Amino acid sequence: MKYVPTPIEDDENENVSPYSSFSAGLRVIFQVVLLIFGAYIALGLMVDFAVPYIPPAWEDSLAGPIMKEVTSSHKRAGFYKVEEIQKLLDSLASLIDKSGRKFKVGVFENKEINALALPGGHIVVYSELLNQVASENELAMVLAHELGHFKNRDHLRGLGRSFLFFIVANLFLGDSSATKALMNSSGILQNNYSRNQEYAADAFALQLLVKKYGHAGGATEFFKRLAAKETLPGLVHYLSTHPASEKRIAELEKLIAENGFAVDEIKPVTWRKAEQNEEAEH
């Protein structure tokens, strides 16, 4: 007798899973995402290698378009004596850069407590940061921190990585909503890298602060006030590009203790105009 196999019906056998086009699609998407991030990381390493060799002239050529975007999307703040902040920045820069490179500060209206190091030696300071800073020493710490990013060329690394990711995402996905979603989530890959940059810039700023004033007064006070306002859980801080203020304070206090830096009196604010001081008092 000849054996004739009986066909297995998918819906009658529990050991056979129904074919799912949905799961197959998810696998393809997952593979594409892995390929994109793999290419991004590889290109990012290339950026890190190339950044030290980028001529200052090339960096300066990027400044025009970037600052044009900043000035078109932000209003310049009028409540501050920018020339006083510029003098403070110049005094700090003279302690580290003997090449004659010029750094320029710009103050813009923004509710975010932040400052940015941008190509061409530009430092953008948001008005809310100036509202929160209570002494010259604290502002010097902030400006010295941004100078630390310039010294390590962190601003070019961040710019280069963002640009490369945009190219890779568009190459694989085109100008789509998926590209925008990946652009928004790409920062998570760099967060630990960015936090390391922040700690390094803090350490540099502390050394520069002591070099200018002879002591470490003002190194942690600004961060202590920020820490008092931070209510985010630890996981959210992990996803942030900046370390939690409490961790930054701990690292700075550790460095102050290890180096035996004194902590003396700090200088008062000098960059607020009279009318703003009156508003602050009321």
**In a domain? residue 21:** no
Are residues 179 and 169 in contact, defined by beta-carbon separation less than 8 angstroms?
yes
**In a domain? residue 7:** no
What's the CA gap between 105 and 88, in Å, rounded?
10
**In a domain? residue 207:** yes
pLDDT value of residue 61: 77
**In a domain? residue 136:** yes
Q: In terms of pLDDT, which residue wins out, 163 or 248? A: 248
pLDDT value of residue 65: 81
Contacts of 232 (CB under 8 A, 6+ apart): 240, 244
What's the CA gap between 141 and 130, in Å, rounded?
12
Q: What is the pTM of this model?
A: 0.72
Contacts of 199 (CB under 8 A, 6+ apart): 243, 248, 251
For helices 177-185 and 187-213, the axis angle rounded to 10 degrees is 40
Residues 208, 114, 252, 228: is their CA dihedral positive or negative? positive
CB burial readout 260-273, b (16+ within 10 A) else e: ebeeeebeebebbe
Residue keyed to tokens 């007798």: 1
pLDDT > 80? residue 189: no
Are residues 222 and 132 in contact, defined by beta-carbon separation less than 8 angstroms?
yes
Strand partners, 272: 80
| Alpha helices (H) in the chain, listed in sequence order | 21-50, 56-73, 82-93, 127-132, 136-152, 154-173, 177-185, 187-213, 221-229, 234-238, 245-259, 274-281
pLDDT value of residue 109: 94
For residue 105, what is the enclosing H or E element?
strand 104-108
What's the CA gap between 188 and 208, in Å, rounded?
30
DSSP 271: S
**In a domain? residue 1:** no
pLDDT value of residue 265: 86
pLDDT band at residue 185 using 50, 70 and 90 as cut-offs: very low
Measure the CA dihedral 61/37/193/243, to 10°: 110
From the number of C-beta atoms within 10 Å of its C-beta (0-12, 13-18, 19+), residue 82 rates as middle
For residue 106, the enclosing domain spans: 26-281
**In a domain? residue 6:** no
Q: Residues 97-120: what's their mean pLDDT?
A: 87
From the number of C-beta atoms within 10 Å of its C-beta (0-12, 13-18, 19+), residue 172 rates as middle
Q: How many domains does the chain have?
A: 1
pLDDT value of residue 240: 45
User: Which tokens in the block code for residue 88?
Assistant: 């403070």
Secondary structure class of 35 (helix, strand, coil): helix
Q: Which of 4-8, 66-70, 75-79, 258-262 has the least mean pLDDT?
A: 4-8
Q: Residues 268-274: what's their mean pLDDT?
A: 79
